[in-house]
Structures are given as structure tokens and as C-alpha cells.
Amino acid sequence: MNLPPLYHWSPSERRVEILQDGLKVFSEPVVHGAGRAPYLCFGTCPRQAWSLSGDLDWVSEKEEWDLWQIILSKDDDVHIRMESGTYIYEVRTFNSIPADRVWLVAQREPAVFIER
């Protein structure tokens, strides 16, 4: 199975570290409270990746988020979480992704609502 480019959201405060070191397993968690995970989580599109991270109620204190894109290599330790048998819910890598395979593609800032 060939997977498309994958996406990962992280708080913008981590941008410099990610640009230098890539995405690293066992990083301090933002989303889950189970401690440092031995894997990284990715979505198959930006919206799906957002639902796995910044869209969760308990991470609302983070206002600015960066969207990162990666391409898997044949050496990545990939595990796919399926939902309803056919829908890819989440893609996990049990290895870090080096900086030369991580691209910053967008930044999400707090929404500003204008009253009419």
C-alpha cells in the first residue's frame, strides 16, 4: 500500500526545534496525557490531522499551530489505525522523522470574528 503525503499539527512554539531536529518520538505530549509516546501521529489530510490534535477540547490553550507534511520512506515503522474497516483513522510511525523529510506547509492562527 502506498500512502499519500501525511500531515501533523504541532504548536507553533515548537517550529524552530522541528526545523532543526524533525519530528521526534518521545517528545513532550500536547494532545494526550499518557506521557511521552513512542510514536508520532499523522492524518492523511490536514483536516483529519487537525481532528487528532488541535481540535480536541483540552488543547484549546494553544492558539497558533503549524501544519507539517511528511513523505514516508521504506524504512519507517508504520502502523495504520483503521475505523469501520476501510477508513484510515490515523497513521503512526514508531520512529522519528528527520528534518530533511519534514515540510512546514501552513500556520493556523486564532480565529477572529467580525461583527456585522
* CA 2 remoteness from chain centre: 19
* Residue 14 C-beta-side C-alpha neighbours within 13 Å: 21
Between 79 and 35, the more confident residue is: 79
Q: pTM (2 decimals)?
A: 0.84
**pLDDT mean over 62-73:** 90
**pLDDT mean over 5-32:** 90
pLDDT in tens, 72-104: 999 999 999 988 778 888 999 999 999 999 999
Residue 116 covered by a domain: no
Query: Is the pLDDT confidence value at 46 over 60?
Result: yes
Residue 61 covered by a domain: yes
Q: 16: domain range?
A: 6-108
**pLDDT mean over 21-27:** 94
Residue 60 covered by a domain: yes
**pLDDT mean over 39-62:** 78
* CA 55 remoteness from chain centre: 12
Residue 41 covered by a domain: yes
Residue 82 covered by a domain: yes
Domain count of the fold of the chain = 1
Is 7:42 a contact under the CB 8 Å cutoff? yes
